[in-house]
Amino acid sequence: MTTNEQLFARAQRVIPGGVNSPVRAFRAVGGTPRFIARAQGAYMWDAEGQRYIDYIGSWGPMILGHGHPAVLDAVHKAAMDGFSFGAPTEREIELAEAIIALVPSVDQVRLVSSGTEAGMSALRLARGATGRTKIIKFEGCYHGHADALLVKAGSGLATFGFPTSAGVPEDVVKHTLVLEYNNLQQIEETFALQGDEIACVMIEPIAGNMNFVRASVPFMTKLRELCTKHGAMLVFDEVMSGFRVALGGAQSVYAQLIPGFKPDMSVFGKVIGGGMPLAAFGGTKDVMSQLAPLGPVYQAGTLSGNPVATACGLATLKEISKPGFFDALSAKTQGLVKGLESAARDAGVPLVGDSQGGMFGFFFADSLPQNYGVVMATDKERFNRFFHGMLDRGVYLAPALYEAGFVSAAHSADDIAATVQAAAAALKA
């Protein structure tokens, strides 16, 4: 048994599935998960000393790469002043101010400890602020594991969803409608039928939980129009895309394509914590003032706005706000995708990819999927073979065809070239 295999066997004795988050168990791709001992820059080393070029980046947070000196320094200083107080601190104000400065649609934010908590709270706030119960989400979008959001599509249009998890009562999900991403007709019909009962539409504007799928401009334009017309809130789940696809998140990308575009509420996570447990949700002052202690919508958290996590997040935001950061990151990520496409062409394998900022995806297909059903119909066996071929060559990609990938500022041109070279070999194997 290898050390990773030994650790996995030991882990499974005391932790369900041997992991603290299911995707880490490699069940979608098979094989033994790599137990990571340390990471630095663009690299991770497993318990056997094997080095990997890291395209997970903790599923998005590590946009600077691992162990950025300015972030380490900020975290160390904060930790020396205390881990947690259960009382307000100035740094929470500074982080809130930094987020609001970068996201024009947000007047106020509430800091929490995970994307799930942020999404769950935003959903409660949307329902509390509108006095409505029904919500719309889209197949293939993941908004964390709050009960009301663990839902798959109902049997037909405008029918309510079914739980995707045991332990979620039908009662909880019967208010959740699950529609097809990028399906204009469905949202028009649904809003025509029950638009005045919809509290919110929650969407990943650039979806990273069905690999990498963009909401089309016509679809997003129609969503905005229908939410405004019917008094429903458009909630952008930017836990993954926020401060990752652009400094202003996906909403800044759509604001360039759709004049005056803004969501009503936004959910953030990952990058704003810089790898530490921190997330947030925000919106207009009117909406956010519905939250306790001001308003009737309750929400709370022992470690919300944690002093060490806010230091990590602030230091991260400061670095990514520097001039040219996203231009360089976008170009590097585009270069990776083009390199993968070129290697696949040379190998006679259909592969198409896309990227925005430091987030990317690729599919063993001839064209970019526009929704979950098409993503899941792409060649899974070929993906899994490719995943392991890359892992064996020291490149750690997302261990599932429905996940996105992430490039950091620490990835060098040589790392990208080495990745493309490994891909050329893996595709021919």
Backbone angles phi and psi of 266, in degrees to 5: -135, 145
Among 127, 132, 143, 411, binds ligand KE4 (CB under 6 A): 143
Size of the site for ligand KE4 (CB under 6 A): 19
User: How far apart are alpha carbons 360 and 12 in whole angstroms?
Assistant: 32
Are 244 and 357 within 8 A, CB to CB?
Answer: yes
Question: Residue 59 or residue 191: which is nearer to ligand KE4 going by CB?
Answer: 59
Please tell me whether residue 119 binds ligand KE4 under the rule CB under 6 A: yes
Q: Which of 89, 105, 114, 252 binds ligand KE4 (CB under 6 A)?
A: 114
Q: Find the part of the chain contacting ligand KE4 (CB under 6 A) among 7-15, 178-186, 201-209, 418-426.
A: 201-209
Alpha helices by DSSP H, listed for 348-412, are: 372-376, 380-392
Residue with CB nearest ligand KE4? 115
364 lies in the binding site for ligand KE4 (CB under 6 A): no
β-strands 51-54, 395-396 pairing: parallel
Q: Locate tokens 């696809």: which residue?
A: 245
The pattern of x and - marking residues 4 through 43 that bind ligand KE4 according to CB under 6 A reads -----------------x-x--------------------
Instruction: Please count the CA atoms within 13 angstroms of the CA of 103 that sit on its side-chain side.
Output: 35
| 366 among known catalytic residues | no
How many Å apart are CA 57 and CA 64, to the nearest integer? 9
Find all residues with CB under 8 Å of 192, minimum gap 6, and list them.
none
CB atoms within 10 A of CB 169: 9
**Residue 372 annotated in active site:** no
The answer to the question of residue 142 lying near ligand KE4 (CB under 6 A) is yes
Shortest approach of ligand KE4 to residue 315 CB, angstroms?
19
- Which 3-state string (H, E, C) describes 71-111? HHHHHHHHHHCCCCCCCCCHHHHHHHHHHHHHCCCCCEEEE
Binding track, positions 264-293, relative to ligand KE4; x by CB under 6 A: -----x---------x--------------
- Asked if 354 is part of the footprint of ligand KE4 (rule: CB under 6 A), the reply reads no
Complex with ligand KE4: residue 180 or 204, whichever CB lies closer: 204
Single out the catalytic residue among 134, 174, 262, 270: 270
CA–CA dist 422, 419 (Å, integer)? 5
212 interacts with ligand KE4 by CB under 6 A? no
Among 65, 144, 313, 358, contact with ligand KE4 (rule: CB under 6 A): 144
403 binds ligand KE4 (CB under 6 A): yes
Q: Which of 74, 178, 226, 240 binds ligand KE4 (CB under 6 A)?
A: 240
- The question of whether 142 is a catalytic residue gets the answer yes
Q: How far is CA 337 from CA 216, 292, 326, 329, 340, in A?
A: 20, 45, 16, 13, 5
CA distance 198 to 233: 8
Binding site for ligand KE4 (CB under 6 A): 21, 23, 59, 114-116, 119, 142-144, 204, 208-209, 237, 239-240, 269, 279, 403
Residues that are catalytic: 142, 237, 270
